[in-house]
Structure 1
Amino acid sequence: MSGLLARLPLFSGLAPEQLGVLAAGSRLSPQRKGEILFHQGDPVRGFFSVLSGQMQLTVSTADGSEKVVEIVAAGESFGEAVVFEGLRYPVTATALVGTELLAVSGEAVLALLDRDPAFARRMLANMAIRLRRLVRDVESYSLRSGVQRVIGFLLHEADADGPAAAPGARECTVLLPARKHVVASRLNLAPETLSRVLRMLAAEGLVSVAGRRIVLHDVPGLAARLAWQ
């Protein structure tokens, strides 16, 4: 278990004895596609790192529908912040595909935080990154049109793909992290709106769409469109 923990970004660099503290409170948690790990409002029992697969985090709205707030990929974690509260999960976590999780108990994390200021700083930095994402999302939902949200998302995914979207590249390929209806919910759009925007961008020659694979033919043009749309 210590070896698995050491390969995760959040825990890399920890000393063997520190990994041992976490390993004692950790277990593997395989999830089938569509399986719910916990529901919004369930008592907190720890946080989770994704070893392989994908999880979606959703919140229930007043009308009973669900809104995707985050898609968590391999190497990322979720549920860290609520460990400090020790109350209830604010989201529902569902496996988008067959997923292998590493569940880390809140007690083990809190014990290590008490003993290791460097680990505490790493945890705070990880939560700060998540907070910046959420602030960016709120800005997008509040101030951007549907077209801007889609273009911004595609450019962000292209940037996250690294070498596939090298600096100065005019064309690159993006693989959507989930099915289109999940991405639409993530962008606070109706699925048909996402499809309509993609068709419009394709008609303008800016993108080509083949299922989840989208070729961005004019990255600078999309960036300019985002700025003036």
Structure 2
Amino acid sequence: MKKKCSASYHTYTCEKSGEQCICAVPLFQSLTSEQKEQIHSLIHHKYYSRGETIYRPGETAESLYVLQSGKIRIYRLSESGKEQLIRIVMPGEFTGELALFKKGFYEAFAEAQTDCSICAIKHNDFRELLMQYPATSIEMLAVIANRLGTSEQQTAWATTETVKERLLHFLASLVDSDESEPVVELKMAKKDLASYLGTTSESLSREIAHLEKENKIEEIAYGKFKLLTDY
């Protein structure tokens, strides 16, 4: 059975790997079928095994990476070697966009958390597309602005709040306002959440236990929490 994407002029089918990348990314959904076909011609397919580095700081930034399947960890290392997780890239999302607007180098590590299938588009090619299709440019700026806001929030948590407060605010940020119950499910392992919140796995586990004892959260399944108080 074919997966289909709606388009302005005719149906754009998603049978091939590159076509699936285009259909999966919200960034491209405002484009017509002809425009999506143009992007498909620019895609280079890459495959990475779990644990393999996709790019690292200091490497020349050449491509935008669209994740078709798997998970990617984006992180930085301090001078002391401590890891700070920035985000987890999920299917349909992209990374490598910051260097798109300036010729430079990657500033973080991107590592395949699982086996990954990636569609890469050269920065030069993608810049031309953004100039041709303003709607896509606006979509990309919206994503980047959202990531910037998340990064600023992450920094504020790490510098002004306790681990318990960081954890509560992070869980609260995941709550879907349309759902009747405040139940959230982590998209990352607990060790990655600890890195994201700027703490250790041991400290995170202790704070989860404390919050459960205080009846502020309930872990109803592994990595799935119900918030029992408003934050």
Pick the TM interval, shorter chain: 0.7 to 0.9
2:69–2:118 CA contact under 8 A, matched in 1: yes
Aligned twin of 1:10: 27
Partner of 1:40: 57
Q: Which residue of 1 aligns with 2:226?
A: 216
Cα offset for 1:120? 2.0
Aligned residues: 214
Alpha-carbon offset, residue 123 of structure 1:
1.9
Q: Is the 8 A contact 1:45 1:105 kept in 2?
A: yes
Counterpart of 2:203? 193
5 Å-filtered alignment, 1:154-169, equals: 154-159=171-176, 166-167=179-180, 169=181
Amino acid in the other structure paired with 1:44: A
User: Are residues 1:177 and 2:184 paired?
Assistant: no
Contact 1:180 1:212 in 2 (8 A): no
1:21 to 30, 38, 45: 38
Say if 1:140 and 1:149, in contact at 8 Å, map to a contact too. yes
Q: Which runs of 5+ in 2 are unaligned?
A: 1-17
Alignment of 1:64-213 (within 5 A): 64-159=81-176, 166-167=179-180, 169=181, 172=183, 174-209=184-219, 212-213=222-223
Cα distance between partner residues in 2 of 1:211 and 1:61: 33
CA distance in structure 1 between the aligned counterparts of 2:161 and 2:188, rounded to whole angstroms:
22
Unmatched segments (≥5 aa) in structure 1: 224-229
RMSD: 2.0
The DSSP-based 3-state class of the residue aligned with 1:158 is coil
1:3 to partner: Cα distance: 4.8
- Do 2:56 and 2:108's aligned partners in 1 also have CA atoms closer than 8 Å? yes
**SS, match of residue 177 in structure 1:** coil
Question: What SS does the aligned partner of 2:175 have?
Answer: helix
Residues of 2 paired with 1:212 and 1:175: CA distance?
Answer: 9
User: Larger helix proportion, structure 1 or 2?
Assistant: 1
Structure 2 counterpart SS, 1:88 = coil
In 2, are the aligned partners of 1:6 and 1:14 still within 8 Å (CA)? no
